[in-house]
Structure 1
Amino acid sequence: MSAAALKHALKESVSGLPPAFWWLWMNTLVNRLGNFVATFMAIYLTLDRGYSASYAGLVVALDGLGSVVSSLGAGVMADRLGRRPTLLIAQLSTALSTALLGFVEGPVAIAAVAFLVGMSSNASRPAVQAMIADIVRPEDRVRAFSLNYWAINLGFAISAVAAGLVAEHSYLAGFLGEAALTLACAVLVYVKLPESRPKHGDDGEAGADKRTEPAVRLGTVLRDGRYMGVVGLSFLIALLFMQGTVSLPVTMGLSGWSPSDYGVVIAANGVLIVLLQIPVTRFIEHRDPRRLLVTSALLGGYGFGLTAFAGSIGVYALTVCVWTLAEIVNAPTQMGLVTRLSPVHGRGRYQGVYSLSWSLAALVAPLMAGYVIDHFGTAWLWGSCAALGTVAALGYWLLMRGLPPERGQAPEQSSEPAEPVVAMAAGKTKKAADPVRTTV
């Protein structure tokens, strides 16, 4: 491909998205650049503080438990208080708790603050995802979620290297550095990001009586059968992708490979996401999401399943490439489906429940993998992954039959946020009386 063609492809990939999205994208990137705690928590507790591996595992689990708790609470906050206040509260509390973690002494205090860090750091996810859905046109959402996912992985790839260098000199500097970057994100939100939460009546029914609009509560989400089916399938997919950092290093270690060998193999995941996320998204953007999700589930399941036959670094890297491709396809497509099934004035709660599936998977995956490996062996674990991918693929195929149409329609000008539309009884569409407001 020529330089001109590459330039044109890049321009098409990033054009047409509102300015608020790019500030949100920058917020995501900067936030991920300071990902020190998640990367080095266990090493910090065992090597620097001298605690046992079991205590380090407990603290990491408490961090994950905090994210489970905040998934639902932050979703409710995003709907009630707004996306912008929720982001501000989440990032300010993350900055404070992260800085505090570098100073606290004693096992109980460290565990308690780690729980607060997990709770506050995950609280921004439902608000970010809901805000993307608010401000981006329906036809551009898959691309927007893909770009945001790309920023997450790009920031993590850079931070992993930088944080390693910082940790060699001072773990405290790492905690304070992450706190400073998170605080910078909070300032960015306050200065540049407008509120995007739609008001009741903005979901497409022009002149709708607000008193007759059904309220969206957590119970509403939990009773939404199709949506909860998507959440359940998301949990299965998350269990699969967690194995790349949970079970793959254990399997390679049991086979005699060194930690540096694992580092080389897993690096393929980050490199491929950074290189392929945008071009692959351009290829899949307007294709059938049902087929994409089925294909990604099968690629993920059998990509991990192939690990049972790996006997060299090259084959291990090949398996990583297979399930990374599944990850690249699944992430933006599934986020687009989640938004598609979420009512406009309940996006925060719906996104919170969706985030819960990943938080729960982060807790369950290590326990499940450890039990299977200890009692049955690694071959059974990787075979189970293939079966899990097959079940998820079948679930997507059945669940997405008769999928309802997109809840919104693109406005004429791409630089403005999406104006919702609703299908009327006669089969026509009518623009809502009040578009989604994006001014403070």
Structure 2
Amino acid sequence: MEKIKNYFKPYRGLPRSIYIIFFASIVNNMGNLVGPFLTLFLTYKIGLSVSVVGIIVAVNSALGMLGAMIGGKLIDTIGRKKILMIFRTASGIGYVICAFVKMPVIITSILMLSSFLGGFSQPVYSTIITDLTEGEERKAAFSLEYMAMNIGFSVGPLLAGFLYENYLTWLFLGDAITTFISVFLILIFVPETMPTKKELEKLKERTFESAEEGSLLSALIKRPVLLIFSFIMVIYFIVFSQFNFGLSLQVGDIFNARGAKIFGMLMTVNAVLCSTVTIFITSAIKNIKASLSIAIGGLLYAVGFGMIFFIDKFYMFIISTVIWTIGEIMVSTNTSVYIAEHTPITHRGRFNSVFPIIRRLGFMVGPIMAGAYVKHSNIRNLWLLIGGLSLVASLMMYILYTSDTVSLQEQKRDAIKEDL
């Protein structure tokens, strides 16, 4: 019993607001009912053509990213809670309207507007967590946010599937209600965390999180390590995107008619592990730097995805999924920590708005690249390429880790000299 308690130790003593965000995130992600069924709704309920729906879904995604970019700036200048209250509430109101409107053009327009407005508040949770934590606390806090997302997403689509078939109006109302509940939790229990001028002055210039003047671009130029990190993460997400694209094709090629069922089982294994094992992994790596944890996660990607080239048995695909899922947990829970540790305190909202774009870029490029490769080779050979990319990205991340370690040692030496 004592050993089990130790696994939960990193999560004890966190600021109360972190636990509130955890529950608010579960509620909000459980209520993500419209998004997963948007394509089906527009095609079969509204009656739009597949080509038109494809354009709408793509534009909808782009509007969400644009909203996040604008929201990041507003979060840094106006405040975290204000942006969440205004824009997430507005997004929820849009879903309420869609529940009662019957005209396809109006419904589609409002859905796209809601996606745009909802994007404004997307970086808020990560920004608040960064404001409230540092060091080991950050790992635990971002780990909680990651678990909340997976718990919510594991329940939401099941509920959405039931509502879509039988109670379509409640698909929209449910999304709106859970949005309002999550906003209410933040409104009542989480204080505004935007740093004051006094807090900005507290950070010494030699730290990675020191305040900066100017735009996001100018802050990035002054921190080239973040540009390098962003490039590495694009590779990571190109690799990880194959859990959906390449893996489904490989399983279908091997198991034929049973492919869809087996792929669904593998996704269930992934979801269950992400929701349950994260606690134990976070505890095990609590003393390992975020950059090194991400590098190790890349090695697990290389093994988990790379081994698919050699296997054709169901139990081996389970083992493969377990390995790359552990890699996913290590990468996902530490990426936000790394960004937080290297982001100017004045630009936290903006930097947190950029990361989802990096993720989507990888998920856009990954399937296109894999499709072109498979066309000129075959699906099995894809995993050699993916394994190789994982190794390269992991090595680059390890170099970044050693570079960071040297920089921190130099900062400590400078601090000692100044104190003397």
TM-score (norm 2): 0.87
Alpha-carbon offset, residue 221 of structure 1: 3.3
Q: Which residue of 1 aligns with 2:282?
A: 281
Matched, 1:219 2:217: yes
Q: Which residue of 1 aligns with 2:417?
A: 426
**Aligned AA (2:226):** Y
Matched, 1:320 2:324: no
Q: Which residue of 2 aligns with 1:21?
A: 18
Cα distance in 2, alignment partners of residues 295 and 18 from structure 1: 29
Cα distance in 2, alignment partners of residues 367 and 141 from structure 1: 35
Q: Which moved more, 1:20-29 or 1:66-75?
A: 66-75
Cα distance in 1, alignment partners of residues 319 and 203 from structure 2: 53
Alpha-carbon offset, residue 142 of structure 1: 0.7
Q: Cα RMSD over matched residues?
A: 2.9
Q: Is the 8 A contact 1:69 1:119 kept in 2?
A: yes
Q: Secondary structure at the match of 1:60?
A: helix
Gap change, CA 1:316 and 1:11, over 3 Å in 2: closer
Equivalent residues, number: 409
Alpha-carbon offset, residue 225 of structure 1: 0.9
Q: Which residue of 2 aligns with 1:250?
A: 249
Superposition map of 1:27-426 within 5 A: 27-102=24-99, 112-203=109-200, 205=202, 214-223=212-221, 224-255=223-254, 256=256, 257-403=258-404, 404-405=407-408, 424=415, 426=417
Cα distance in 1, alignment partners of residues 315 and 59 from structure 2: 36
Alpha-carbon offset, residue 104 of structure 1: 6.0
Gap change, CA 1:332 and 1:122, over 3 Å in 2: same
Q: 1:312-336, CA deviations, whole angstroms, 9 ceiling, x for partnerless residues?
A: 3322222221110001111122211
Q: Secondary structure at the match of 1:401?
A: helix
Gap change, CA 1:66 and 1:304, over 3 Å in 2: farther
Gap change, CA 1:213 and 1:232, over 3 Å in 2: closer
Gap change, CA 1:300 and 1:220, over 3 Å in 2: same
Gap change, CA 1:220 and 1:190, over 3 Å in 2: same
Gap change, CA 1:73 and 1:384, over 3 Å in 2: farther
Alpha-carbon offset, residue 34 of structure 1: 0.7
Q: Which moved more, 1:79-88 or 1:54-63?
A: 54-63
Q: Which moved more, 1:305-314 or 1:270-279?
A: 305-314
Q: Secondary structure at the match of 1:400?
A: helix
Cα distance in 2, alignment partners of residues 207 and 363 from structure 1: 39
Cα distance in 1, alignment partners of residues 325 and 273 from structure 2: 7
Gap change, CA 1:227 and 1:132, over 3 Å in 2: same
Q: Secondary structure at the match of 1:285?
A: coil
Alpha-carbon offset, residue 186 of structure 1: 1.6
**Could you list the runs of 5+ residues in structure 1 that have no partner in the other structure?**
407-420, 430-440
Cα distance in 2, alignment partners of residues 43 and 296 from structure 1: 35
Alpha-carbon offset, residue 156 of structure 1: 0.9
Alpha-carbon offset, residue 248 of structure 1: 2.4
Alpha-carbon offset, residue 174 of structure 1: 1.3
Q: Is the 8 A contact 2:75 2:83 kept in 1?
A: yes
Alpha-carbon offset, residue 28 of structure 1: 0.9
Gap change, CA 1:206 and 1:69, over 3 Å in 2: closer
Alpha-carbon offset, residue 157 of structure 1: 0.8
Alpha-carbon offset, residue 280 of structure 1: 0.6
TM-score (norm 1): 0.84
Alpha-carbon offset, residue 136 of structure 1: 1.7
Q: Secondary structure at the match of 1:202?
A: helix
**Aligned AA (1:148):** E
Cα distance in 1, alignment partners of residues 359 and 100 from structure 2: 30
Q: Secondary structure at the match of 1:36?
A: coil
Alpha-carbon offset, residue 306 of structure 1: 2.5
Q: Is the 8 A contact 1:216 1:346 kept in 2?
A: no
**Could you list the runs of 5+ residues in structure 2 that have no partner in the other structure?**
none
Gap change, CA 1:428 and 1:145, over 3 Å in 2: farther
Q: Is the 8 A contact 1:221 1:228 kept in 2?
A: no
Gap change, CA 1:311 and 1:109, over 3 Å in 2: farther
**Aligned AA (1:219):** L
**Aligned AA (1:349):** R
Q: Is the 8 A contact 2:200 2:211 kept in 1?
A: no
**Aligned AA (2:120):** A
Q: Is the 8 A contact 2:302 2:390 kept in 1?
A: yes
Gap change, CA 1:35 and 1:247, over 3 Å in 2: farther
Alpha-carbon offset, residue 351 of structure 1: 1.6
Alpha-carbon offset, residue 172 of structure 1: 2.9
Gap change, CA 1:312 and 1:213, over 3 Å in 2: closer
Q: Is the 8 A contact 1:217 1:349 kept in 2?
A: no
Alpha-carbon offset, residue 158 of structure 1: 1.6
Q: Which residue of 2 aligns with 1:411?
A: none
Q: Is the 8 A contact 1:95 1:183 kept in 2?
A: yes
Q: Is the 8 A contact 1:297 1:392 kept in 2?
A: yes
Q: Which residue of 2 aligns with 1:409?
A: none
**Aligned AA (2:249):** V
Cα distance in 2, alignment partners of residues 126 and 33 from structure 1: 18
Q: 1:37-73, CA deviations, whole angstroms, 9 ceiling, x for partnerless residues?
A: 2322223233433444443333332232123213321
Q: Secondary structure at the match of 2:85?
A: helix
Gap change, CA 1:206 and 1:305, over 3 Å in 2: closer
Cα distance in 2, alignment partners of residues 207 and 56 from structure 1: 51
More helix by share: 2
